[in-house]
Chains A and B, each alone.
Chain A
Amino acid sequence: MRRVVITACGVTSPIGNDFMQFSEGLFAGDTGARLLEELFGSDLHDVPVAFGAPVKNTAEVARARQCLENPHKSTTFALAALQQILVTAPDVVCRASLQCGVGIGQLLPDLADLVEAAAAFHDALLQRGNNAQLRPDHARESALFSDAGALQLQRVLGLQGPVRNFVSACAAATQACIQACEEVLFGADVAIGGGHDSLLSVAGIYLMHELGTLSTNSRAYRSAVRPFDRERDGTMIGEGAAYFLFEEAQHARQRGAEIMAEVVGYGSSLDGYHVTSPEPTGRAGIRMIEDALAMAGIDGSRIDYVNAHGTATSMNDAIETQIIQQSLQGNRPFVSSTKPQIGHLIAACGAVELAACVAALRFQRVPPNCNLETPDPECDLRFPELGGPSATLDYALCNSFGFGGQNACMILRRWNAD
């Protein structure tokens, strides 16, 4: 059986724009929360949501923006993350296929751009008349097309392998990473997987607010997102990207690559219940984790750390608690959510949160569950102390639960050559 390892990780996030910065911010409990007024002026005056988590506009992000012909925000973040991977092994990376978790359909990338593009598309239809032929390439590079960003990335980076785009709401990036692992399992030496997204736009904030998912605790915005807390009232919108180089273990060792973690299992399932609400018993989520454990050849007692989806919404956290408790059969690993620090990255969240798992295994430290003051009795889990305490961590589980009941998870193991 081929073994799949992670040999490079690029991150663009509200708490750091490379893997080391991100890891340091993660363990330190940094937050990227900022008042939206700084970003959008008074456009949000009638919405009781005042904060979000933007990516820092560093030199790396600015450089990435200049490389793109059509620099949508999320594509820029993706390019900045992918460039971090490319420098580690350009000869290897350029041969790789690219798997992108992107948001469109139910959750839209660069929503403001999409609104503009949809209106332009509509104008074009009107001008041509209802029966006129409008060729697909009229909108080829527009934000209407969820694969337009990935095509730009492929072109700018000179990647030679195929590009595959995934849409599964908040599970999209995890699905993309799973696909990259399968490419390696079934014969490729390397494959890139990850995701990029930004709903940090006026329309995006409205969308998520109307769905009741955002915290309105603006007075304490830096500590407002409280996963698993009794007083939790929702998440905040974040943005960013993370991409990984997945590689066959022997190939990585032969070229002397540094191995950051091994992928030993993954799973996915569907609730088939509701367009936004999770299924109350969590049975599909439980089945997903059980499948991942079976693939890894371990039982639930071996999991040392869970990076929870942890949206800090009332329903998610309670149901995810049930899922973790039942699928791990009494084991009480450390559990934390990264969303208080980086916000909800929607289609990209699974990738950036997988980077948190890589950091946990690599540095043998437990990422914090920030802002937890009064644990909810319905969320009886083991939360780590703040400050990123040291611990022996061999296996980490990363959960993603998307709208529509689209679930996916991955299990990583600390690298052991034996």
Chain B
Amino acid sequence: MSLDPRPLVLQEEQPPRPAAPGKKWVKSVRVQNGIDTEVWEEVDIDSGSDGPTWGAREDLRLLNHDLRRIDGPEKVTGRAVFTHDVRLPGMVYAQVLRCPHPWAKIVRIDLAPAQGTPGVLAAVVLEGEEVKWLGRPIVAVAADTPEHAEDGVRAVVVEYDVQRFAVTSEQSQAPDAPKIAGNRDNVRVHETDGELAAAEAALAECDAVVEGTWRVPVQHHACLETHGVVVDYRGGDSATVYASTQGTFTVNNDAARELDLKGAQVTAVVEHMGGGFGGKFGLGLEGDAACKLSKQLGRPVHLLFDRASEFLAAGNRAGGVHVLQAGAKKTGELHAFVARVERHGGVGPGSNQRQPYIYRPAVSYAQVKSVLTNTDSSRAMRAPGHPQMSFAMEGLMDDLAYAIGMDPLEFRVRNVPPDRRADYERQLRLCADLIGWNSHPHRTAPDRSEGELKVGIGFALATWGGGGRPECKVEVRLLPDGSVEVYSGTQDLGTGTRTYVAAIVAEEFGLDLAQVTPHIGRSTYGAANASGGSTTTASLAPAVKHAAWNARKQLFEHVSTLIGVKPENLRCVGGRIQDVNDPDSNWIGFKDACAAVGGKGISAQGEWQRNLASSGVGGAQAAKVRVDTLTGEIEVLHMVGVQDCGLVMNRMATRSQLNGGMIQALSYGLFEERVIDPDLGLVLNANFEDYKIAGCKEIGLVQAVLDDGDNRRGVIGMAEPAVVPGQSAIANAIMNACGARLREMPLTSDKLLMALRGAKRG
């Protein structure tokens, strides 16, 4: 009997006003000035009575708070087992021979020298006909050590008939270019929106017209843990596949096919994984090879990419060229818009790069083409297409704002879709406050004055869906000793899934976070969607909540008979279950309640609940940079990101996502670019020395702010919008600082120096 016996105060007898259409008033308990207080709350009529709700934000004890990751200590101490770390008895190591040419026909493959290499146990041919991109796997070799596997790979003899290739967009569009996809053209028009003549006529009506060609390079996912699997099949009717994947359930069925087993006979395991960013779905060609080798040898096979392979054959973010022309009226209206977009997706078509991005011109025309090249196909990467569209569109927006002498922030507010204006405006103005825009001296024109060190500020917006889907099945078990276990096959990409899964259940039962044990990353647990499109949390969290709610209902039915209180009058608080009307006399400890249930315990299932998820997010970011006009150095001093995402599960982890998104965008903006020599066709920077990513010295103050102005009650994913606007805001800040508009990423010092020199000459 330790609970503080404070009185429950009913503040108002009657609701303050009649309920709005579709709403009703309910009494709910909030803590006000430290006292439990019953207040009237207006809620949707369909929520509340017959299913779980998240409850009022103020009432949440764990959710929407900062929660330390429960697997953090395991990760930072190295105890966490990633796929790379899996070691099994009798395990062998596999490596892959990759095609060294952008395009070649395979005349002959001789495995004998590899098979004769010390330590080599098996070699299989994966491709014997034709290869159209450098890096495609041709042969896989398994050996007793990784070193022997590499020796084996280098011993394989392949005779190639090297073909003429096109690795750049220019080569691919040359009149005599080789046709990469059979008889089809290398260039394909994917979509055309609007009337060109109308858009051109509208341009003529504008007070200012600007134009430019924006170029974005191919970016790599650059996951710290490379792609790969450990396939453990020693014969019989079961196998285990440990995979570094974004989808537990995208692996087992593919593996079953390769192993001639049924899907349920293969268990996929994703205990921890070191980053995916959209590039890790399915088993892949190399995973197929590992299955083949494991089946052949009857031993576990460890096949993880080396770093060069990760750059050559693990996908990428498509590059592109955006040729934009737009005009505005002096009033600040974005009036006319013409876009011609090229997507560079390698042997694939590349993903969505539609224009105009976010902003709504009165009249617009856009054509999107894809240009095939003999390079590794692009894959999904964190907000596919959005950062590319953003870089071009947001640059154009600033150029236009300056052309009509308007503050780019106000120009943005004026031209976002009207139904989203309130959110974007709130987010932009908060960014402006935090980054110091209101006292910045150059708000309507770039600072073109002489000077060595110059500071500028830029803005950009994001948009994303992030909603959930009915794909997850979750089980919550209460055991007689009071332990609470949650089971879901879902995977944690490093975003903190385990922590919020435990928190949702702990919240439901009034327990501490540590009292709930989450079990994830195994295909024998309940089904879960793959982590793509920021849909994990909005799909999983509602199902977890539903399972916890069902488990609590079952528990309350037992407790009801024990203490003689109706189930609907029970609640969980501070490790006990009590009568809401008489908390001091009628109660039972949570553990005792579980013990009373008996040996069978409680098992409850949960599925996705529409009312627990929402979708649709925006987000605004700002960057402040300092440029050195003597050296071209670009230093990002400060970035601010303001992000909405409905109900937040774990504020700390959500800010981490926003932080990580901003840093990844900074790195994309300033450094990242796949470099291919057009004549040799070779990738020149398939390593972390020459493929540069931002390090700690490149990252200034990064301020991640959750937009609490978003009062939606559902859960929404937000990892993707976080990565969209950063590089655009940085490019705009450079322009604002010194009047140099860099339209080609990465935004490096050499380009800035040459642009400044050009500006001086001009």
A and B held together in a complex? no
Interface residues of A (CB under 8 A from B): none
Interface residues of B (CB under 8 A from A): none
